[in-house]
Amino acid sequence: MAHHLILQERQTIARLWKERKSKAEIAHVLGRSRSTITREISRNMGRNGYRPRVAQQMAKERRQRCRRPAKMCEPVLETYVKEKLELRWSPDQIAGRSLLDFPRKAARQISRQTIYTWIGQQGEEAAHWRSLLRRGGPRPEKGGHLKGSVSIKGRPCIVDGRQRYGDWEGDTVVGPMHRNGLLTAVERKSGYLRMAKLDNLKSETVVRGAKRKLGDLPPSLRRTMTFDNGTEFAQHAKLSRQLNMAVYFAQPYCSWQRGTNENTNGLVRQFFPKGTDFQRISHHEVTRVETLINERPRRRHGYRTPAEILADRLCCV
């Protein structure tokens, strides 16, 4: 799926172009097609050369000129979505049902992301609509933008296909009142889990936990990490340096972009249900649960276990 270039990518283009790198080389570094880079430079090259912030603004203005009317501005569709939310339907259920209820009216067929986005734009009323969603909807504190973070849009395309080892997804499983929790990191290709007990959710504690649990892996198994947008990952740059991993962040309210981690956290909750105070859970117990999950057979691996899959990989390193 194609995504618009973001400012960080445009800054990389400017730097590499200044270093006289070819468009093909720039495309390779960013994991983009050569035609994307060619089009970007030709559209946004000015008298003073290629300037990333100017290019970002020009691209924004072009999108605004071409933007179609917002779907939720259609009165019938807005009423439809509101009524279904009041019935406690999820955005996914509303989106899916709209295809059946409006089979010949594309203007009234909607995606779940459009509904989430609309909710987030409702100002004071947003809290009401979120309260109707399961578990209160996406957690607001996870929706911010961390300083210096790189969006998942800038992540190499090879990560999406699970074609290699060493690409991880990470998040936290939290205890009561967000006082403590677990750091969970899942390798995308094998499904292998590493967990660290966190006495608190401060960003420096998370960095220490990640280094402790991932630092012993060979470089070929430490390529990328994709996190949620929680403030506990504010020191992502330090984590990236210490583990020599590129760190990316999923878009707000897009938990499916870290589906492997979300599903694994569900397995973790079988052992540590919501409300578990991790202050009372020992490091030994966390390790025991980690082992149990890694030794569960998985259908997508022909019922081999993540531990077996990764053990084979380590033998080849």
Report the percent of the chain where pLDDT is more than 70: 92
Least confident of 36-40, 134-138, 199-203, 237-241: 134-138
Q: What is the pLDDT of residue 201?
A: 93
Averaged pLDDT for residues 134-157: 68
Token couple for 46? 């000015």
The per-residue pLDDT of the chain, averaged, comes to 87
Question: Is residue 41 classed exposed, middle or buried when 0-12, 13-18 and 19+ CB atoms within 10 A define those classes?
Answer: middle
Angle value at C-alpha 170, between 31 and 313, nearest 5 degrees: 70
* CA 266 to chain centroid: 17
CA distance 46 to 40: 12
Q: What is the pLDDT of residue 138?
A: 46
69 versus 205: the higher-pLDDT residue is 205
CA distance 251 to 253: 6
CA distance 241 to 172: 20
Pairing of strands 224-227, 246-249: parallel
**Which conformational region is residue 72 in: left (phi greater than 0), alpha (psi within -120 to 50 degrees), or beta?**
alpha
- Count of alpha carbons within 13 Å of 295, Cβ hemisphere only? 6
Q: Check whether 65 has a pLDDT greater than 70.
A: no
Under DSSP, is residue 192 helix (H, G, I), strand (E, B) or coil? coil
Q: Check whether 69 has a pLDDT greater than 70.
A: no
Q: What is the pLDDT of residues 115-137, one digit of tens each?
A: 888 887 777 788 888 888 875 55
Token couple for 38? 């060619």
Averaged pLDDT for residues 51-75: 77
Which residues are CB-contacts of 15 (< 8 A; sequence separation ≥ 6)? none
Residue given tokens 């050569």 in the structure block: 34
Q: How far apart are the first and last CA of the chain?
A: 32
Averaged pLDDT for residues 92-114: 83
Q: What is the pLDDT of residue 248?
A: 93
pTM score of the predicted model: 0.56
Q: Check whether 233 has a pLDDT greater than 50.
A: yes
Q: What is the pLDDT of residues 170-198, one digit of tens each?
A: 999 999 888 899 999 999 999 999 999 99
Token couple for 189? 């290709």
Q: Check whether 203 has a pLDDT greater than 80.
A: yes
The band of 279, judged by pLDDT with boundaries at 50, 70 and 90, is very high
Which residues are CB-contacts of 283 (< 8 A; sequence separation ≥ 6)? 197
Which long-range CB contacts under 8 A does 87-96 form with residues at least 24 apart?
88/132, 88/134, 90/133, 90/134, 91/115, 91/116, 91/133
Q: What is the pLDDT of residue 142?
A: 43
